[in-house]
Structure 1
Amino acid sequence: MNARLQRIWVLLRLAVALLVGWRFGWGWGLLTLGAHAAVLALGFVQLRWVNRPAPGWGQLLRAWGHEVVASELAFSWRQPWREWAEADHLPAGAQTGVLLVHGFGCNRGRWNGWMKKLRAQGTAFVAPSMEPAFGSIDAYADEIEAGVRKLEALTGRTPVLCAHSMGGLALRAWWRKYGTGHAAPPRVITLGSPHGGTRMARFGQGRNAKQMRLRSPWLAELPAVTDVDCFWTPCDQIVNPAETAILPGSRAHRVDGVGHMGLVHSDAAWRCLQTALTDSSFSTPRRI
């Protein structure tokens, strides 16, 4: 569903830009096409008053520039048109696996860069596109469980679970429903996940957006997971205040100069995943 909606949005933006360009001049058409960058800028400016300590203007400017590129790559190309460009990878004999869980308003195309690299190194992965797009986060638990079981059957080990944004909450909802069926807690990496909720959820549509509001009753009932690396940024224009992206008891990793979407392009997050895969290949017994 998200891919279809985003294709419509891309075509609508192009149509409006062409109309404005034809009527008022092509320079104005280009400015219309880039109007989203101005809207993004407002999200970063407000962080000067929301986060304490406040990120510097230099950090915010750098994050905004990266976010313009990252958001265009995600919402204008990978998610609407390239959702299945990288199929799930389940090679025979794989020793480790990764489950990749996208966030609100996204689909599996969000992970195309990571999936390409994981395939090149021979790591098994599954990346679901979670539906319904605007339904309850609890509804994603079954699909996550199916992916985990598929990777466990292939590798004999629990996969590393990596999630962006709302995906981190979906993993905790999955653990609430299916945790008792697993021998040990999984290794989890979350990138900009609103573990404590976010101010921006009040502007979102759907039941999942309501569940992500600050101090929502649904969030208060979610269980914690114990082996977690939380990546967060003081320049996160979507998940703020910034500390809400840190799950109590987790290993917190601060990334400066990037926005919410840019966390998926973080070298530090990718290195953390590689370390987790190395650790899991030795620390988790392979089931025969």
Structure 2
Amino acid sequence: MIARLQRWLVLGSLVIAMLWVSAWWMRSPPTAIAGLCVLFLGHAGFLAFEFIASYRVGADDPIQRATVMQYVGAWLAECCVAPRVFCWQQPFRWASIPDRLLPDERRGAVLIHGFVCNRGFWNPWLRELRARGRAFVAVNLEPPFGSIDNYVRIVDEAIARVSAATGRPPLLICHSMGGLAARAWLRDADGARVHRIVTIATPHRGTWLARFGRTVNGREMRMDGEWLRKVDCEQTSARQVPFTCWYSNSDNIVFPPSVATLPGADNRPVVGQGHVEIAFDRTVRRETLALLD
């Protein structure tokens, strides 16, 4: 569903761009160019709002926020990374790398994406796992705007498939809301079925930005929200399964920074990166995949 929605958004934007240029180019080339800039660079303005909010909200957080220049650098990088993910990988390349479930005695991985994403988000990770000959399943969380509780069955089936191929508990690799889906799975599951859960920019204690969320899963990620309080009260923390939590001090979606950490977990900081960019950081990927061994 997300692939189809984002595909229509991309194609619709291209049609609007062509109509705009054809209507204005002969009358006023500067107007035509200005319209194209608004259409194709408008996301930079939304990202700027997010980074400004992150900077202001993070002022009183126990984890020191990034410097202004680090925020600017993170914003510029996110402006480049986000279109590649949301306008290419997810709408058009989400099925380009199929799950790999050949029999293998080595440990495999389950990859769980975040909000308004699909398995195409993980394409660089999937290419590396395929090159290493590892078994893996990258899920699609459906329905995309339903409750996080709806994803438990999807996560459980992926874990079972990788375990059947390898005979070993898999490593769970989760970005953003995907980490909460893994914790929701832990409520009624045997934690011994997974080797470790790695979360990347997951709002374990919610995020300030979720106050603007109107979808069911968006509301569930509100700070001090009922759904998160319920998860924290149940045995879904690092006490049951080893967790590694990557977090950024300049995350534009999950902030203030400390909400992406868990008590008792192996909390690992990344400096000056945005919410999407952190998932493609080479150090994050290298050290996360090293946990397979």
Mapping for residues 1-288 of structure 1, pairs under 5 Å? 1-24=1-24, 25=29, 26-32=32-38, 33-52=40-59, 53-179=64-190, 183=192, 186-222=195-231, 223-225=236-238, 226-278=241-293
CA shift, 1:54, in A, is 3.4
Which secondary structure does the structure 2 equivalent of 1:46 belong to?
helix
1:192-215, CA deviations, whole angstroms, 9 ceiling, x for partnerless residues?
000000111122232111110001
Partners of 2:274 and 2:42 lie apart in 1 by 18
Does structure 2 retain, via aligned residues, the 8 Å contact 1:141–1:177?
no
Q: Give a deviation string over 1:206-242, Cα, whole Å, max 9, x none.
A: 2111110001111112121331111111111111111
Answer yes or no: is the 8 Å Cα contact 2:105–2:168 preserved in 1: no
Q: For residues 9 and 224 of structure 2, what CA distance do their matches in structure 1 show?
A: 32
TM-score by length of 1: 0.91
Q: 1:91 to 1:246 in 2, by over 3 A?
A: same
Deviates more, 1:183-192 or 1:205-214: 183-192
Output the amino acid matched with 1:261.
V
How much is the aligned-residue C-alpha RMSD, in angstroms? 1.5
Using the TM superposition, give the Cα deviation of residue 253 of structure 1 relative to its aligned residue in structure 2, in angstroms: 1.0
Number of residue pairs matched? Answer: 276
Local SS of the residue matching 1:157:
coil
> Which stretches of structure 1, 4 residues or longer, exceed 6 Å deviation after superposition?
none
Structure 1 residue identity aligned to 2:284: A
Q: Residues 65 and 257 of structure 2 are in contact (CA less than 8 Å); yes or no, is this contact kept in structure 1?
A: no
Q: For each residue in 1:144-200, what CA deviation from the matched residue of structure 2 results, as whole angstroms up to 9, or x when unmatched?
A: 111101111111110000000000000000111223xx5365301100000000111
Distance 1:101 1:141 in 2: 11
Q: Which moved more, 1:220-229 or 1:112-121?
A: 220-229
> In structure 2, what residue type is equivalent to 1:224?
S
State the SS of the aligned residue for 2:159. helix
Q: For residues 99-152 of structure 1, what are the alpha-carbon distances to aligned partners after superposition, in whole Å with 9 as ceiling and x for unaligned?
A: 000001000000011001100010110011010111110111111111101111
1:92 Cα offset (Å): 2.5
Moved more, 163-172 or 91-100: 91-100
Quote the Cα distance in structure 2 between the aligned partners of 1:203 and 1:16: 28
Unaligned runs of 5+ in 2: none
Q: Distance in 1 between matches of 2:279 and 2:55?
A: 23
User: Equivalents in 2 of 1:56, 1:39: separation in Å?
Assistant: 20
Measured after TM superposition, the shift of residue 29 of structure 1 is 3.8
TM-score (norm: length of structure 2): 0.90
Cα distance in 1 for partners of 2:183, 2:65 equals 29
- Stretches of structure 1 that go unaligned for 5 or more consecutive residues are 279-288
Supply the distance in 2 between the matched residues of 1:183 and 1:247 (Cα, whole angstroms).
19
Q: What is the letter of the counterpart of residue 104 of structure 1?
A: F
Give the whole-Å Cα distance in 2 for the aligned partners of 1:200 and 1:125. 32
The Cα shift of 1:14 comes to 2.0
Name the SS of the counterpart of 2:174 in structure 1. Answer: strand
Aligned-pair identity in percent equals 38
Listed one character per residue, the Cα deviations across residues 60-86 of structure 1 (whole Å, up to 9, x for unaligned) are 111111111211011100111111011
8 Å CA contact retained: 2:171, 2:194: no
